Amino acid sequence: MKPAHLVSGAIAATSTEVIHARGASVRFGERLLWSAVDLHIGPGTFTAILGPNGAGKSTLLKVLLGLQPLAGGTVDVLGAPAGAARRRIGYVPQRRGFDRTLRIRGVDVVRLGLDGSRWGVPVSPIRSRRTREALAEVVDLVGASRYASRPIGELSGGEQQRLVVAQALVRRPELLLLDEPLDSLDLANQAAVAALVQRICRERGVTVVMVAHDVNPILQFLDQVVYVAEGKAVVGAPNDVITTQTLSALYGARVEVLRASDGRLVVVGTPEAPALHADRHAG
C-alpha cells in the first residue's frame, strides 16, 4: 500500500495540474485554520475534501475560487493565481433547496448559469438556438430531461440537485467545485449524484473537487482524498488516507478505522468523523 502524504513540504508543479497549492495557509483573526498545505490535482480526476466540522473544507473551495485570501503560500488554479480563471470554473455552493411554491422551470434554473446576467434581455435567433441546444445537452447529461420543464419547487431533492449541477456545467467548465452536494439527500440519490459526478469526470474530462460529510456514498468513485484536521492536511488515494495509521498521525491521537460488513468505513476515536456522522457538516 502506498503511504498517504502528510503535506508540509513543496511539491513540484507539472504542466497538466489543474490545482497546485504550495505551503498554503489560512488565518481567521488569531486562529490559524490550516497551514503549510501542499496539493496537486490533475485533470479529469474526482477528489473529495473530508474532515471534521470547522476544519476549513469549504474555506478551501473559497481559496480555489479566489474568494478567501491566504495568510501564506500560493495557490494556482488552471495555470493562474486563484481567482484569475474563475470563468473556467463551475461552482455549486452548499445546498439550500427551493421553496415549494417557486414556479420557475428547472431548465430556466439551468439557463441562469449560462446567461443569468442577461435574464429578460432579448437575444438574436441564432443565440437563442445555441442556448436551447446547450441547455438540452447539459440537461440530458445529468439525466434530467424528463422533468426539466416542471417547476423547480415541485421536484425532489435529488432532481433539484441534478439541475443545479447542470447549471454549473452549462458553460463547460474545466473545474467543478461542489460544496456538500449530497447533503440532505437519501442514500439512493446520494449514490446517483456521486455516479453522475464521476461520469462527468470521465466523459467531459472535468476535474471535480467535492466537499463531503460522509465518504461512503462516493468512496468507490474517488481518485483522491484530501483529509483536513488539526490544522494540517493529508492527501492520497482513499484506501491510503482513510486508515488507522494515517488518521492517527494526522490527529495526533489514536483513531481506529473499521470496515463494516456492508463495506462502509467507520472512524472511531475522534469526535467529528465524516464516515460516521449524518448531521450537517459546516466546516
pTM higher than 0.75: yes
Per-residue confidence in pLDDT tens, the chain, 283 aa: 444 555 433 333 445 799 999 999 999 888 899 999 999 999 999 999 998 888 899 999 999 999 999 999 999 999 999 999 999 999 999 977 788 999 999 999 999 998 654 444 444 455 678 888 999 999 999 999 999 999 999 999 999 999 999 999 999 999 999 999 988 888 888 888 899 999 999 988 999 999 998 888 888 899 999 999 888 888 999 889 988 898 888 888 888 888 888 777 777 776 454 444 333 434 5
* DSSP per-residue letters across 170-199: TT--SEEEEESTTTT--HHHHHHHHHHHHH
Torsion angle of C-alpha atoms 62, 24, 229, 57, degrees rounded to 10: 10
All structural domains of the chain, each given as residue ranges with its CATH number in brackets, are: 5-268 (3.40.50.300)
Which set of grid coordinates corresponds to residue 202?
470521465
Q: What angle do CA 32, 36, 37 make, to 5 degrees?
A: 105
Q: Under DSSP, is residue 233 helix (H, G, I), strand (E, B) or coil? A: strand
CA distances to 39, 81, 269, 273, 277 from 265, in Å: 24, 36, 13, 10, 11
